[in-house]
Chain A
Amino acid sequence: SQQGEEDPQALSIQEGENATMNCSYKTSINNLQWYRQNSGRGLVHLILIRSNEREKHSGRLRVTLDTSKKSSSLLITASRAADTASYFCATDRQGAQKLVFGQGTRLTINP
């Protein structure tokens, strides 16, 4: 079963613009992680945010977590063509010791 639901399912923007993707989940979590998947390849870990954190930065990435709303957002600033990929949130439910991935957001950066 899918724990995280990403929104939107697909996003197309111009190079240089910011891209925002959202993730909602249903149960209490220990942490939430974001992964990127380029076409035909495996997933790459981007960032992890713990349940007691509200915001985290890594380079051009900014992740927020609102546990009261059970939602997270991933912001990519100053997008580049190389950011074209699918982005997945993955949640670790309390007591589960495993990640459950959402359906993903397909991001396209137009030159």
Chain B
Amino acid sequence: EAGVAQSPRYKIIEKRQSVAFWCNPISGHATLYWYQQILGQGPKLLIQFQNNGVVDDSQLPKDRFSAERLKGVDSTLKIQPAKLEDSAVYLCASSFGGLSSYNEQFFGPGTRLTVL
């Protein structure tokens, strides 16, 4: 079974530039998550989709971050403009079925973003 795919794996940009990350979840998984993981910390949920609808985006900095999930499958996360404190690993995860928290989350390898 193919896992969660993310691209790019690494990205270096200057502050105030824009960047986009792509995620392809495991086939058939209804729920998709984007996490931000700053070095030395645990992942922090940015946004959660159920199919193509947003379930939770309470911790998404909406002035600069945006995300969409086209047709309930692939998803993109965009940062515009980037700040130095956005340097982190951005993890995408997916889980099968509905919003039950008993569903195991499967994580992609992440995109490491460095903002200079």
- Tell whether A48 pairs with B45 under 8 Å between CB atoms, given A42-B4, A98-B56: no
Which residues of the partner chain B approach A103 to less than 8 Å between Cβ atoms?
40-42
Once the chains bind, are A104 and B42 in contact (CB under 8 Å)?
Answer: yes
Docked complex Cα distance between A43 and B89 (Å): 12
What bracket does the count of chain B residues touching chain A fall in? 20 to 34
Query: Is A54 among interface residues, defined by CB-CB distance under 8 A?
Result: no
Once the chains bind, are B101 and A99 in contact (CB under 8 Å)?
Answer: yes
Q: Within the complex, what minimum Cβ distance (angstroms) separates B96 from chain A?
A: 12
- Tell whether A97 pairs with B42 under 8 Å between CB atoms, given A30-B101, A42-B110: no
Query: Is B105 among interface residues, defined by CB-CB distance under 8 A?
Result: yes
Once the chains bind, are B41 and A98 in contact (CB under 8 Å)?
Answer: no
Once the chains bind, are B55 and A97 in contact (CB under 8 Å)?
Answer: yes
Once the chains bind, are A42 and B42 in contact (CB under 8 Å)?
Answer: no
Main secondary structure of the interface of A (DSSP, over half): strand
Once the chains bind, are A45 and B56 in contact (CB under 8 Å)?
Answer: no
Once the chains bind, are A48 and B104 in contact (CB under 8 Å)?
Answer: yes
Once the chains bind, are A98 and B105 in contact (CB under 8 Å)?
Answer: no
CB-contacts of B4-37 with A (<8 A): 4
In the complex, what residue of chain A is closest to B99 when comparing beta carbons? Answer: A97
Once the chains bind, are A98 and B101 in contact (CB under 8 Å)?
Answer: yes
Docked complex Cα distance between A101 and B41 (Å): 9
Once the chains bind, are A43 and B43 in contact (CB under 8 Å)?
Answer: yes
Q: Within the complex, what minimum Cβ distance (angstroms) separates B111 from chain A?
A: 10
CB-contacts of A34-50 with B (<8 A): 35, 40-45, 48, 50
A-B contact pairs, 25 of them (CB 8 A): A30-B102, A31-B101, A31-B102, A33-B104, A35-B107, A42-B91, A42-B108, A42-B109, A43-B93, A43-B105, A43-B107, A45-B104, A45-B106, A50-B102, A88-B43, A90-B42, A97-B56, A97-B101, A98-B48, A99-B45, A99-B101, A100-B45, A101-B43, A103-B40, A104-B42
CB within 8 Å of A: which residues of B? 4, 40-45, 48, 55-56, 91, 93, 99-102, 104-110, 112
CB within 8 Å of B: which residues of A? 2, 4, 30-31, 33, 35, 40-45, 48, 50, 88, 90, 92, 96-104
